[in-house]
Structure 1
Amino acid sequence: MARHAEYQYLDLIQHVLEKGDRRIDRTDVGTLSIFGAMMRFDLSDGTFPVYTTKRVFWKTAVKEMLWFLKGETNIQSLLRENVRIWTDWPLDKYRKATGDEVSQEDFEARVLADDEFALKWGDLGPVYGKQWRRWVDADGNEHDQVASVIRTLKTNPSSRRMLFHAWNVGELDRMALSPCHMTYQFHVSGLGDAMTSGHGSKPQLNLLVGQRSCDLGLGNPFNIAQEAALVHMVAQQVDMTPGELVWVGGDTHLYLNHIDLANTLLSREPRPFPKLRLLKRPDTIDGYSIDDFEVSGYDPHPAIDAPVAV
């Protein structure tokens, strides 16, 4: 019997605990860090790699991916979906700029109720969605990287140039947070089989994600789930089947205040991954909503609370 794919995650945590370089980071919380990691997840049978050693709120992760795909950069639209994972950064900026120690709840309520306030204080700068869908070149032309990849997948699926990324050097200083998951490169396998089988078999769509900085405790479970959801969506849009998700990490770390979380995860045995089915096929990649995702068989261990480092 094949070893459960989630052990890749648990083994990585164990390796960081044992071999990680202790260092002070941008947040002043401190981390244990290694450099260079890889995990692979087979999605071909509908598997949705949502970790089971703690409950992962996969709907929140997918909603964030849908927000990226729509090119959004303001937390107001996320808050309307009851997603609060980006509030810490604009809230911190607001408090430092104004001296107003407003609560997160009151800040979010004001962003939701006041469009002018949201425009000034809820925007994160040119983060992921802006770069994915509206990258501006030196001549002022906008480039929709995601649409370009989908177009190439349909017309030249053997291309080695099917990727999009968010590391726009000229705009990094205007982003609330520099991109962590930076490069998304697509690859199609089984093209020859699809051409010669005569039985309507479809090619498989694979995705490699390069992540420069990975928070193993909180960020990675979200990243893997939302990246797998992206493979399913893009595959549906280009009439392929999901293949493999390959994740590659650069600075891969555990925050020092996540050590208890890590030890709890390592004490638990993974359970079967759930399955994902898309209930409809929108006209475009940015037409999906959370209601289009049907996830079955998710039975995780209990959630574990841990602080976010800002």
Structure 2
Amino acid sequence: MKSIVGFIVCILLFVNMGFSQSLTIPLWEKEVPNSKKSIEKEKHEVSEILRISKVQVPSMEVFLPAKRSANGKAVIICPGGGYGMLAYDWEGTDVAKWFNSQGIAAFVLKYRLPQSKSIIVQNEAPLQDAQRAIRQVRYNAEKWNIDKNKIGVIGFSAGGHLASTLGTHYNYDTLNAKDDIDKLSARPDFMMLIYPVITMHLLHTHKGSRNNLLGKTPSDELVNFYSNELHINNNTPPTFIVHSTDDKVVPVENSLRFFECLKQSNVFSELHVYPYGGHGFGLAIGRDYLQSWTQRLADWLLYLDKI
């Protein structure tokens, strides 16, 4: 009997290993830039979703589609959480699996959160991690069966702010090129912003995200720098945006204003505003026609190849 049980366990382990779809790699091989030693520990909390806070070792979890269905595109996924935590599965790994179903490689970014005691310059750490993530994917593009000119970014809520910061501040340099990866372009080839925080100006911002990223009394210079609608130009990547009218957390004006500025700069862009959905609906599975936003995105991604 014991030999039979042992045989079954071995088979299950083999099957699990054979069908594993992801691996996690650190963003930085040696020292994490803009960091200092502290006694802070990373925290994982699981209720209906996995919430990660106090990130100590920024990393990305790699999800690759089968080679037979891969189309060469890749996305960096920035989960939301008000810059205070990461809704890691709800707006991260679940989304990565959807992208894999479309033949797209996906990389869930576990980025540092600015209130961490392990960070020196708090507002710069998330952008540093996002820049490093896209450069690392570009550096390893051939190994991962990716076209280095088809790497995008998607972000939800505060993760949408980070994604749009990457898309508008990809040339902002605080690292001074530590290695060959840092020398590559950090510009996303396309952006997808889902109920995003865009502005840091008080009228329409999400105050929790603003306070966590910039502090409670930021300078006007810092507020303007991270109000990403002010930094759009004709080199801003093509952008897809989704929001709901009844979002009481991040006002829809964030997306409306960003789209208007994209239009003024002749950036190829698409905006979908749903009448309901509130905030934080993720993939919106089972939410009537709200869940069709992913199909709209799939259509848009196909059309990108034609522009």
TM-score by length of 1: 0.28
Between structures 1 and 2, the one with greater strand share: 1
Between structures 1 and 2, the one with greater helix share: 1
TM-score by length of 2: 0.28
